[in-house]
Structure 1
Amino acid sequence: MTTWIILGGTSTIARVFARSAAERGEGVILAGRDLDDLNASAADCAARGAPVAEAVAFDARDRKSILGIVERARTLDAFSVAVFVGSMPPQDQIDAEPALIEGTVTDSFTGPAECLTRLAPLMEAHGKGTVVGVGSVAGDRGRVGNYVYGAAKAGFHAYLSGLRNRLGRKGVHVVTVKPGTVDTAMTWGLDKLPFLAQPDKIVSDIFRAVDRKRDVIYTPIIWWPVMTVIRAIPERIFKKMSI
């Protein structure tokens, strides 16, 4: 049995992930900004069979809260981590107010990366556990509609690759998850969302990847051939496209 530290626990996908973990008999520590929401989710997980179900404060922009997560992790015999943290302001808002870049990058990359880096020695000492890092297909190539968010996720993907190389030598598995468009609050109101997936599908694919010890997955799988084609488009052509 493992206990999952779930960063970004109030996100739609994280809630489904926590419920599924509870039903698998695994513990959950839901970490995020809205403690009332997290406590409600924790109670639901306890009712579903989670042996550990609690809420803790976490903000990717607040180092004190990151250190609090690390201190809680020290009390566990072993643990796994799932990262659902991220923010995606519309690109036109960022263009109008470039100061939004810092928060986007912190939420989607550097904050979670700092937390994982501080947790890594504990996981190495345990010699087991899993890290699930949720990135995005947006990180595979810079696109005109969301290139700041895409850049943050691209950095997170590269970070997870290096962390996988490091922790894999100590028995810890790192999975990079690249979802396409998902029916969540982050995408509500956006137009032209191809292959829109439900959170349950994403979570099912994540746990399959965890159980099979996959390194990188696209979910739904249709995004693997789609992004293979997009990555292969020559830059001189791609820069004229509106995708």
Structure 2
Amino acid sequence: MTRSPVLILGARSDIGQAVARAFAALGHPVQLAARNSDTLADDKSDIELRHAVPVTLHEFDALAPDTHDAFVAGLPELPQTAVCAVGLMGAQRENETDMDAAARVMRSNYEGPARILAVLANRFEARGSGTLVGISSVAGERGRATNYVYGSAKAGFTAFLSGLRNRLAGRGVHVVTVLPGFVATRMTEGMDLPDRLTAQPDEVAGAITRAVERRKNVIHVRPIWAVIMAIIRNIPEPIFKKMKL
């Protein structure tokens, strides 16, 4: 059976790579999209050899919104599923004082991902089918002093995905919001992360493929994060202000 193509936005990231390989393992052709996409040639060859599926490379810059329409129009085939793994954490202390750095984090986690998914949403809606997957973060569920710049952008992206899902309900297009919690990637390298709360990229990828298949709406990769964030969201503000989370 011929499988439908899957587009991976942010295909150089650890999660993007894992998601690409997970869908390829299921027999899906894969479209890898990233900046300097030619540097993914080895990944392309490896996926093709391991999984015997076609893989194509596509130049994509989430922070160049004027290129997004042409990017989608230039794909060899409109994918059935698109997964956005674009993101940038940055350093909170730098973001507090360097407004350009803060803006880049905000644009990388909200404006760019939302803009490209909006373009794809319109094309999917016109076709009457498709699945959009946005990787957001539990950091967007309540602003905390340790990462509120990153968290605020993820909060915006989570709200965008929710609204998009509501808009496209009944039109053949499904939207999945992924809230991974901690993930052991290059982005979190050097951070002291608790094992019980930290997923591996392959674990995130598996959760995404299952969510697409089962048409889930919002998923926490490790369910314990749903409990943790429910507690954090309900801490009274006078108490929350005194906490260092």
TM category, shorter: over 0.9
* 8 Å Cα contact 1:7-1:83 kept in structure 2: yes
- Structure 1 partner of 2:186: 185
Q: Greater CA deviation, 45-54 or 184-193?
A: 45-54
Q: Report the counterpart of residue 221 of structure 2 in structure 1.
A: 219
Displacement of 1:50: 5.2
Pick from 188, 203, 206 the counterpart of residue 204 of structure 1.
206
After superposing on structure 2, the runs of 4+ consecutive aligned residues of structure 1 that deviate more than 6 Å are none
Q: Contact conserved, 1:26 with 1:50, CA < 8 A, in 2? A: no
Distance 1:36 1:221, change over 3 A: same
Higher mean C-alpha displacement, 107-116 vs 186-195 = 186-195
C-alpha deviation, 1:206, in angstroms: 1.2
Q: Is the 2:72–2:78 Cα contact (8 Å) retained in structure 1?
A: no
The answer to whether the Cα contact below 8 Å between 1:78 and 1:128 also exists between their aligned partners in 2 is no
Deviation at 1:78, TM superposition (A): 4.6
Q: 1:50 to 1:26 in 2, by over 3 A?
A: farther
- Residue in 2 aligned with 1:148? 149
TM-score, normalising length: structure 1: 0.94
Unaligned runs of 5+ in 1: none
* Contact 1:13–1:84, Cα closer than 8 Å, also in 2: yes
Q: State the aligned residue count.
A: 242
Deviation at 1:130, TM superposition (A): 0.8
Identity of aligned residues (%): 43
2:10 maps to a residue whose letter is G
Would the aligned equivalents of 2:7 and 2:79 in 1 still touch at CA under 8 Å?
no
What is the SS of the residue equivalent to 1:25? coil
Say which is worse superposed, 96-105 or 30-39, in terms of deviation: 30-39
Matches of residues 56-135 of structure 1 in structure 2 within 5 Å?
A: 56-73=58-75, 75-76=76-77, 78-135=79-136
Q: Relative to structure 2, which stretch is displaced further, 49-58 or 105-114? A: 49-58
- The more displaced of 143-152 and 31-40 is 31-40
1:211, 1:81 → 2: CA distance?
13
